[in-house]
A and B are shown apart, each in its own frame.
Chain A
């Protein structure tokens, strides 16, 4: 059923528990999230109960259990970004997209994730959209950036 996960698991023959996190990371990289089916498959492969896998996966901030949007927006909430107003950026973003942090929009176009620190503190406040960094943000700049992604998405959709 979940062929991607099955394919990934074939790369880890006879793996032990220490491979659990790398496998989860790889599955998330491929699927965008950790699905129930993937957890069941990984559990069978590693001989671990699904509860154990969820125990590990929910502990770490990286793993998500809902699919992410076509544009996945990471908002840095590190100290430097906070001091430079990332709380305003986040609330403006939530308002713009009508979306709460951690959620994916119903049309699957956008998702927002709050991260502890991207490590680009010199450019605070920072967001990262699908690997593209945008620094020294203001609410105005943010509106333009989101608009540009909306247009890109529209062009892509047509």
Chain B
């Protein structure tokens, strides 16, 4: 049926779909969640208005996110005969002017971000190509290849960029056993955190005899600081569906679930539409591409529980229970969802599958380090210039990601650490920045790959505060099944709270407990780590252990000197007005939300320490820089 039309597209039609040449102008707007957050909706409105007002015959395409969140909203324009050019920070107000400049051929190279060098169309002077732009040139984009480039809602465009070729080849010429073998040989490991060899997981499930097997795609990206799964689904949903079809074929599953966060409404919407469209074209559903293989994909929305990233907890959640892990074995590959063999793979893992089948296991395994193959997507955020999504080959150093691709620390501040792996991971200090991205090497420095969140921290970030933040998160998200995790993480949080509490808020023996607590941290951590059932508990103490290991001096400053060197722990700060500098303009007193600043006009003011909530509003308000903290 409709499948034929998709696969019988001629070379010219495919070229058109790839937009190697266009008959009329095309305007692309990056409208992923992050783009919309930066104001892409207003940009879209402005573009539509401009087109109607100027009576220009042009197409508008909403794409996903190309990965450079810091420069959003992004707008690309492709004129007939010219290369596609991308502009940064295109707000609704700026859009008409930029469009004007493109259509009159007077582009300001400074407003442009990058151009798509295709070797055919005429380029724009002074605008870097992808091979030249510092953010893009060091990346190897396999998983993110189409993100931000194609229309994510168009199956034809995905097809034109080589999509579904892997599935067609596999279904017509490779047995499921050979497919498992291919993934084994590729060396692909789970991208969700643990790094378990994907092929092995498939092999276990394939070996099980059962009338029904399940494939689950884990899109419950609960790790704060990671958003690559969202970007892949929003920007290239068919890649995930093709990967799932290949995985299900290999393990012999006929039913598949995508367990996705409810916080990602746009991703859910795109996925629902993509599934419906793939079914219509015979790429999902009964007898896919005319073969004997059938697959039905269902979407299950997560309800917000970090522990559901753990396989067995996720299964419980799909079954309608509390998302609590259960002991393994039996492993899900043997006894999983509804008691049937189940394979659970992360979004990025599955998005890699079409790449492997399209190019072969050997080709895939050529890239990377000895034990970590292929690429990894990182969500670069925090105090770095170029925040966004970065895909690099395994073996790239963290220094390269943060400084060469990320552009270094914003506002010229000094680098302190980078947090990798979310609440289960650890911090990497300056001294270890040359660590390569590799599952094992990251473990040797007390961190882990995790799902790929990279949060950069500078001199103004307090590492004790960061540890406290993660402990607060973990103790709230602990499911409560294992007592060491439930109670232990709570105790650890209390200890961290005690050392960041101001002395005047301490009562009774709390000062004594503060000293005692710090000594107990490592011991507590060891008990939690060795006696918890699931990954959440076993890795829960990591943020504390790794900050304690690398930033002991900061802990000491909090405990003994009662000072926060970074100035982030509010309670340990005191605000003071420097009398000679204060002109008595009363601005700070007006801004102070609690009325803690007193003084007559035109004479120096003073701060009532007891009332001060240390919000910093006065510092921001003072035009004479007369307020200091210590």
Contacts and interface: CB of A to CB of B under 8 A. Distances in A.
A17 B321 contact: yes
B321 A22 contact: no
| Interface size range on B against A | 35 or more
Contacts of B70: 122
B37 to A, nearest CB: 3
B478 to A, nearest CB: 11
Contact of B34 (A21, A115, A122, A139): A122
Interface in B312-328: 317-323
Contact of B304 (A60, A77, A119, A124): A60
Interface in A117-151: 117-124, 126, 131, 133-136, 139-140
A107 interface: no
B320 A79 contact: no
B418 to A, nearest CB: 11
B148 interface: no
A24 to B, nearest CB: 8
B224 A18 contact: no
B381 A116 contact: no
A83 B455 contact: yes
Contacts of B304: 60-62, 115-116
A77 B224 CA distance: 8
Contacts of B50: none
A56 B322 contact: yes
B225 A79 contact: yes
A20 B320 contact: yes
B146 to A, nearest CB: 19
A136 B192 CA distance: 28
Given A79-B225, A79-B382, A134-B37, A62 B262 contact: yes
Contacts of B221: 117, 119
Interface stretch (A3-11, A65-73, A88-96): A88-96
Interface string A67-87: 000000000011111111000
Contacts of B338: 18
Contact of B387 (A82, A119, A121): A121
B473 A122 contact: no
A124 B388 CA distance: 11
B616 interface: yes
A121 B422 CA distance: 13
A21 B616 contact: no
Nearest to B69: A122
B583 interface: no
Nearest to A116: B224
Interface size range of chain A in the complex: 35 or more
A36 to B, nearest CB: 19
B545 interface: no
Interface in B250-272: 261-265
Contact of A92 (B72, B388, B615): B615
Contacts of A123: 34, 37-38, 69, 72, 387
Interface string B216-242: 000001111111001000000000000
B33 A120 contact: yes
B609 to A, nearest CB: 19
A13 interface: no
B37 A120 contact: yes
Contacts of B320: 16-21, 56
25 contacts: A18-B318, A21-B303, A21-B317, A59-B479, A60-B305, A78-B224, A79-B225, A79-B382, A79-B470, A80-B224, A80-B225, A80-B453, A82-B469, A116-B224, A117-B225, A119-B227, A121-B379, A121-B455, A122-B70, A122-B227, A122-B379, A124-B387, A133-B33, A134-B37, A135-B34
Interface of A: 16-22, 24-25, 55-56, 59-63, 77-84, 88, 91-92, 95, 115-124, 126, 131, 133-136, 139-140
Given A20-B320, A79-B466, 6 more contacts: A59-B305, A116-B224, A121-B455, A123-B69, A136-B38, A139-B620
